[in-house]
Homo-oligomer: A and B are copies of this chain.
């Protein structure tokens, strides 16, 4: 389920979005900031492992803002990203992000991309705007 395609109730989305990482602390809970054509730019804090999952129809971009992130690939080598590291998980590719220590990550996903945790937990809503 994609997030609602409305602007957040403040003009901050038109400024530097990085500051918004200070506004939340929970892990594996992406915040939308901002929209980008038919995609959302999402800010995410991660620690530990997520789950093996894939997005059958959509590529997903990861960019590490702080810390380090490993993206395990079921059918290939792990991808190790340091700060500023960039990787696009091709559509249909089973993957699992892992961070031993907290990392701050930027995602770019299509608005139609269903996050793993939406699949795992029935009734989970869309990612909120930050």
Residues in A lying within 8 Å of B, measured CB to CB: 13-18, 33-39, 41, 58-59, 61, 63, 65-66, 76, 79-82, 84-88, 90-91, 106, 108, 110
Q: Is A106 within 8 A of B59, CB to CB?
A: no
CA gap between A45 and B41 in the complex, in Å: 22
Which of chain B's residues have a CB closer than 8 A to the CB of A35? 59, 88
Q: Is B108 within 8 A of A18, CB to CB?
A: no
Q: Is B34 within 8 A of A37, CB to CB?
A: no
Which of chain B's residues have a CB closer than 8 A to the CB of A61? 36, 41, 108
Using A13-B88, A35-B88 as known contacts, list a sample of 19 further A-B pairs with CB atoms less than 8 Å apart, ordered by residue number in A: A14-B76, A14-B87, A16-B85, A16-B87, A17-B86, A18-B85, A18-B86, A36-B88, A37-B38, A37-B59, A37-B91, A37-B110, A39-B39, A41-B61, A41-B86, A41-B88, A61-B108, A65-B84, A84-B84
